[in-house]
Amino acid sequence: MISLRSLGNIDRKIIFAALFLSVSIPLIFDFRLPNRITKEVRAVYDFIDRLPPESAVLVSFDHDTATLPEMSPMARALLRHLFNRRLRVIGLALRAEGSSIGNGLVHAVAAEYNLQEGMDYVFLGFRPEITSAILGMGENIARVFPKDFRGVPLDEIPLMQTVKNYRQIELIISIADDDTPNYWINYANARYHEAVVPAVTAVMATTYYPFLQEKQIIGMVPGLKAAAEYEQLIGRPGDASVGMSAQSIAHLLILLLILIGNLSYLSARRRR
């Protein structure tokens, strides 16, 4: 008979296997549950939806490949919304790996809408030293990025001939897996009063709630669930929506493990 105490000593390889199955089986059988839209994601969607066409939006790929499974769906959903609204996208990266990630993603999504590089969107590449990059663009983007990712001088790019600094940019989206959005808030928002949206990994979600009240950020897209919400709002379910069933079952498994662990602990404590 399985005792509560023995349930407190499950081999970790069994836990690993159970976790992998809890993620894989829902992916194979793909059942979907309704996904409630949170107010912070809705705020981002509504803000972008209200921007006039041709408005310039800066999208900064401030993450690396480690968090690609979480960041890529939200980046894709946001870019689809921006391009669908005919907004002009200026992509860049403040993390080295974000350069290749961002360049690939911006081009891939722009191709879905038959958009022209240089006119409808541009990818500027990577700049190190976050503070000086963000502060520098507040005065003169071409000074921080003399050329784009392809090596074309910025003064030869039609889009960048009308966008010189933050004054011509309506929104900054930081797709990040660390505290880079803090820098955008501290420098681009506090100094230049730019609207900022952190699209972050779930680990960083609780960091940005204090900024919502005072409108230092206009909304937030935290984690894969928020990415699934955004996919739902734009009417194009993707990887995030597919992953929600697996996310749900895995969470239930972990809660069950915590419950079993605590029951075993309380049982052992009572014996003593």
Partner 1 sequence: MDSGIWIAAGLTLAIYSFLYRDNPAYKFAEHLLVGISVGYLIVIAFKDTVVPKIIDPLFVHRQWLVLVPVIIGVLMFSRFVSKIAWLSRPALAIYIGFGAGAAIPANMQANILAQIRATVSPFAGIDSIGGAINAVLIAAGLICTLLYFYFSKKHEGVFGKFTRTGIYFLMIFFGATFGFTVMARISLLIGRAGFLLRDWLNIIK
Partner 2 sequence: MRRQIPVILCFGFGAFMLAQFFVPSRLSIEAYEMVVDWTQTIYVFALLVGVAGMIKYHSEKISGKKAGYFYNLVTLIAVIVMAASGFIWGRGESSPFDWFFTYMQAPMQATVFSLLSFFVASAAYRGFRARNFEAVLLLLAAALVMIGRVPIGDYIWSGFPKIANWILDVPSMTARRGIFIGIGLGTIATALRVILGVERTYLGKG
30 binds, among partner 1, partner 2, none (CB under 5 to 8 A by kind): partner 1
CA dihedral 110→116→120→124, nearest 10 degrees, is 80
**AA identity, residue 84:** N
What is the identity of the amino acid at 54?
Answer: E
261 binds, among partner 2, partner 1, none (CB under 5 to 8 A by kind): partner 2
Indicate whether 64 belongs to the interface with partner 2 (CB under 8 A). Answer: yes
Q: What CA–CA distance (Å, rounded) separates 128 from 151?
A: 17
Identify what 60 binds: partner 2, partner 1, none; CB under 5 to 8 Å per kind: none
Residue 249 within binding range of partner 2, rule CB under 8 A: yes
Residue with tokens 């769906």: 73
Q: Which helix (H) or strand (E) holds 251?
A: helix 239-271
Binder of residue 118, out of partner 1, partner 2, none (CB less than 5 to 8 A by kind): none
168 forms part of the interface with partner 2 (CB under 8 A): no
Residues 84-143 that bind partner 2 (CB under 8 A): 97, 100-101, 104, 107, 127-129, 131-133, 135-136, 139-140, 143
* Under 8 Å between Cβ of 15 and 241: no
When asked if residue 68 is in the footprint of partner 1 (CB under 8 A), the reply is: yes
Interface with partner 1, residue 125, by CB under 8 A: yes
Backbone angles phi, psi at 213, to 5 degrees: -60, -45
Judged by CB under 8 A, does residue 222 bind partner 1? yes
- Tokens read off for 65: 């490949």
Token pair for residue 118? 């240089």
Using rule CB under 8 A, residue 104 touches partner 1? no
Q: Is 162 in the site for partner 2 (CB under 8 A)?
A: no
Tokens of 110: 């722009």
In terms of Cα–Cα distance, which of 176, 227, 178 is closest to 197?
176
Binding-site string for partner 1 from residue 175 to residue 214, where x marks contact by CB under 8 A and - marks none:
----------xxx-xxx---------xxx-xx---xx-xx
Cα–Cα dist 26/248, whole Å: 9
Residues that bind partner 2 (CB under 8 A): 10, 12, 15-16, 19-20, 33-36, 38-39, 64-69, 97, 100-101, 104, 107, 127-129, 131-133, 135-136, 139-140, 143-144, 191, 205-207, 209-210, 223, 225, 244-245, 247-255, 257-258, 260-262, 265-266
